[in-house]
Amino acid sequence: MNNRILTVSLIFVLLVPGLLVAHHSPSAIFDMKMRVPLKGSVTKVDWINPHIVVYMDVKGDDGKVENWKFESNPPRWFTKVGVTRADIAEAIGQTVTVEIVKAIDGSKYGYLQKITFENGNSIALGNASEKEEAKP
């Protein structure tokens, strides 16, 4: 009996820290005051939990292509507002304009706030800081 309790306790101690880190606060990673527009070509979209990830090539000020990565809402959110995996996949190869909040560390990483497609349609994803406070 004591071995079983010890084993369960050890598993709990090892798993809980990972679960706590797994879902983060956007304001811990992104500068919520640094909302910037970017224009570029979507190269890849990962339709995965807990957040869809969009990859984009953007021309930098020096004319060189920069590879950016944007975290977005969960797939379930997109489904609820009528956007499917196929809709997002159509963006690959398109030139789009996005609004993001940039990563605090200055990397080419951001939290997607809005995406406007070539045809003029857009999806407003809301402010990442609002998501932090949202209740399930």
How does pLDDT run across 35-86, given as a tens digit for each residue? Answer: 899 999 999 999 999 999 999 999 999 999 999 999 999 999 999 989 899 9
- Is the pTM for the entire model greater than 0.75? no
CATH class of the domain at 24-133: mainly beta
Q: Which amino acid is at 15?
A: L
How many other C-beta atoms are found inside a 10 Å radius of the C-beta of residue 42? 22
Q: Helical H runs in the chain? A: 2-22, 26-29, 75-80, 85-89, 128-133
